[in-house]
Amino acid sequence: MKFSGFKVVKEALTGHKGWTPLWRNPEPKPAYDIVIVGGGGHGLAAAYYLAKTFGKLNIAVLEKGWIGSGNAGRNTTIIRSNYLLPGNQPFYEFSMKLWENLEQDTNFNSMVSQRGIINLIHSDGQRDAYRRRGNAMMISDAGARLLSREQLKDMVPFLNFDNARFPIKGGLMQTRAGTARHDGVVWGYARGADMHGVDIIQNCEVTGFKIEDGRVLGLETSRGFIGAKKVGVSVAGSSSRVMAKAGMRLPIESHVLQAFVSEGLKPTIPGVITFGAGHFYVSQSDKGGLVFGGDIDGYNSYAQRGNLPVVEDVVEGGMALMPMIGRARLLRGWGGLLDMSMDGSPIIDKTHIDGLYLNAGWCYGGFKATPASGYAFAHLLATDTPHETATAFRMDRFNRGYVIDEKGVGAQPNLH
């Protein structure tokens, strides 16, 4: 079933009787060529590109709950490619280009909206750092604009420009950045993968790996044994738990990040605004809610909920940046699990076990990476070589001394 304006009109005139489910709900087959563990955005994107771009057949995605019920449904939906380091930035720019064509590619409205992101500047030193970052972005074709205080006053007049501690002196903007609809992304990839023959198997938790002579043969699951020639694990947040079943320890700690949304308001925030110095960022959803967040709680957690001190810290940042936010009522707050890696950057790599591949370590930045992560993981699974933009995301980079540490804080995951 292909979506189009014509189809919408036709269904409107015929009682909406022609819509069909977006994907099948198949029983697992005894074996597949490739099994992706994790039915989030990354896993479904990997399956989609494996089937569509790399022409692979006989693929399954296993999801312990329902698809998109983990971090794909808990993020703040920001898409951007404004990184600094050469190991990262070309990859995120590749992701941005996939975002720009995502809806045409999947024939699904993922509500990609390039409304721009502004990182605020409060000091000369920070302006120098952002100028450098902007240059890195331009080298990778991502585009960047350095904004003056006056330009910002025109664009976002509601900010407090004269905060005593962090007066706003400018900003770095990526106009191509923006937001997307998180579950629209999941559903678009799921539908696309299903249309290309991928079995999406929900309520199917992996309980163990069958590994013999250093080679993976399949997975023990809550719905029985499923054989597999290749297994790709894409379960960020729970990577350590799943890979421990294969006897591996990872350079990852699981942490909790909270996010919040206010009641629906009239359009007030034009894009995404980040106040890094105050541990706060905000955007406005298409439904009108102010979507905002701040730092991670900072201790190991699998609880999918955080604690009140961080709530206080985030709203203090919000009040310092845009005092009018104090008039909005908080609608919801929630927490998601993060694979906080030892350098703040992800892993897309083979493991020492033949046929077992890992996609992990996305920290708090996995959503924007969804298309490129899926594509690069599909590339690795299909060809056994890394995608050209993902060659730095190797697991052995820690031992070799090639960490990709954007913040430069070392092997201390709660500081990334």
| Chain residues that interact with other proteins, rule: CB under 8 A | 238, 240-241, 244, 249-254, 298-303, 307, 309, 342, 398-399, 411-414
Cβ-based nearer residue to other proteins, 66 or 299? 299
Q: Is 161 helix (H, G, I), strand (E, B) or coil?
A: coil
Cβ-based nearer residue to other proteins, 180 or 403? 403
β pairing state of 224-233 and 215-221: antiparallel
Amino acid letter for position 334: W
Cβ-based nearer residue to other proteins, 189 or 209? 209
Cβ 256 to other proteins shortest distance, Å: 9
C-alpha dihedral sign at 261, 262, 268, 274: negative
Amino acid letter for position 229: K
Cβ 412 to other proteins shortest distance, Å: 8
Which spans in 70-157 are helix H? 89-100, 102-106, 124-139, 149-155
Cβ-based nearer residue to other proteins, 2 or 249? 249
Cβ 249 to other proteins shortest distance, Å: 4
Instruction: Give CA separation, 197 vs 71, 109, 218, 293, 335, in Å.
Output: 25, 21, 20, 38, 34
Cβ 309 to other proteins shortest distance, Å: 5
Cβ-based nearer residue to other proteins, 229 or 241? 241
Cβ 343 to other proteins shortest distance, Å: 9
Cβ 293 to other proteins shortest distance, Å: 19
β pairing state of 145-148 and 170-174: antiparallel
Cβ-based nearer residue to other proteins, 178 or 346? 346
By C-alpha distance, which of 279, 263, 282, 260 is closest to 271? Answer: 282
Main-chain phi, psi angles of 62, to 5 degrees: -105, 130
